[in-house]
Structures are given as C-alpha cells and as structure tokens.
Amino acid sequence: MSDRQPTTTRGTSDHDATSPAAKIHRRATAPAALPRRSAELTAAERLVVGALRHWIVGLGDNSGRHWSHAWNDLARELGSGPARDAVAGLTRLVATLGGHARGRIRHHLPCCPCLTADEVRLLGFIAACQAAAPAAARAQAEWLVRADGVGDLLAAGLALGQALGQRGQRLPVRAVRRPGAVGRCL
C-alpha cells in the first residue's frame, strides 16, 4: 500500500499529485520561466543584452573596440538615426546604474551564452518602459537604483525603448519575479 496521501488541488478533486491531471494543473498555473540563456531571448532582447555588455566592458577597459561593436550592432538593426538615440539611452542607463545602483549590477562578458538575473531584470525594465507600463517600470527602477537615480533611469529606459521601437524592435514584457540570486552558467 502506498504511503502517499491524496492531494486536493484548489479543493476540486482528490487525485495523486503525480497524476497527469495534477501535472497539467501545475503547468497551467506555474509562472513562466525567465530566460537563463541568450538563446531563449528574442532578437531584440539579444541586441540589447549584447549592446549593454559591450558598452560596460568598453567602460571597464576603456576600449573603443567594444563601443564600436555595440554601435555597429545597433546601427545594423536600427539604422544610424535610431541607433544614435539608442546609444544615448544606453549611455545614460549605464551611467545611472554606475552612479546610483543599490548594489553591484552583474553581467556576463559579451561572448557568454548565459544571463544574470540583473540582465533579465534590465530587459524587463526596458520592456516596461517601451510598453508604457509606468508602474512596472518604476518598480523595477526602484529595485535597481537608489531614489536619487530613479528619474534618470526611467528617462534612459524610455529613450532606449523608443529608439528600439522606431524600427519595430519590441521587447516582450515578461513576468519578473522578486529579486533573487544572481544567475549563473550551468
């Protein structure tokens, strides 16, 4: 005889938690998993993560090579006018994070296929700005930076989101969970 107890899901049925019905119910109500690897991102999201990584690494080693790479990717996908606007937004976003972040913002190198929780959160922030979801954008900005940087971060996210949107590069709005552990490569 099994020592598993029957379970009740939402008070509607008595079935074993491992039954097909229980698995379907769990799948239907579980939050969608956030991306952990760049292969799980849309083309627009990969463009943003790549540009962000190159920009930050370029600041770290004062290398125009990384900034050129970010510019070339943005200009190829957006055209030179919107790419200039995107770079302006990206520059302001990185500067605001650098001066007002609540903690260390973690990122991978441009060639890494993995994503950190911070990179995913930044994508969610920019997507919320682009989708004109001010409450979601503000909540994420307040998590990322101290109060004195929220306005600048929102302006940077709006500028970057609008530049991307001019050429149809829409970031999907994903359900971002509470801040948690930093993502890691597996």
Residue 138 lies in a domain: yes
> What confidence tier does 176 reach under pLDDT thresholds 50, 70, 90?
low
> What confidence tier does 116 reach under pLDDT thresholds 50, 70, 90?
very high
Contact 49, 119 (CB under 8 A): yes
In this prediction, residue 177 carries a pLDDT of 54
pLDDT higher than threshold 60 for residue 51: yes
DSSP state of 11: T
| More reliable by pLDDT, 23 or 78 | 78
* Element at 14 (helix H, strand E): strand 14-15
pLDDT higher than threshold 50 for residue 9: no
Residue 172 lies in a domain: no
Q: What is the mean pLDDT of the chain?
A: 82
How many structural domains are present in the chain?
1
Q: What is the mean pLDDT of residues 63-69?
A: 91
Output phi, psi for 177, to 5 deg: -75, 170
Residue range(s) defining the domain that contains residue 147: 38-165
In this prediction, residue 63 carries a pLDDT of 78
Pairing of the two strands 14-15 and 7-8: antiparallel
Residue 3 lies in a domain: no
Residue 103 lies in a domain: yes
Q: What is the pTM of this model?
A: 0.77
Residue 28 lies in a domain: no
Q: What is the mean pLDDT of residues 98-115?
A: 94
Cα end-to-end span (Å), the chain = 39
Residue 26 lies in a domain: no
* CA dist 8 → 12, 27, 29, 31 (Å): 7, 16, 15, 20
Residue 93 lies in a domain: yes
Summarised one tens digit per residue, pLDDT across range 121-134 is 999 999 999 999 99
Q: What is the mean pLDDT of residues 83-111?
A: 95
Residue 5 lies in a domain: no
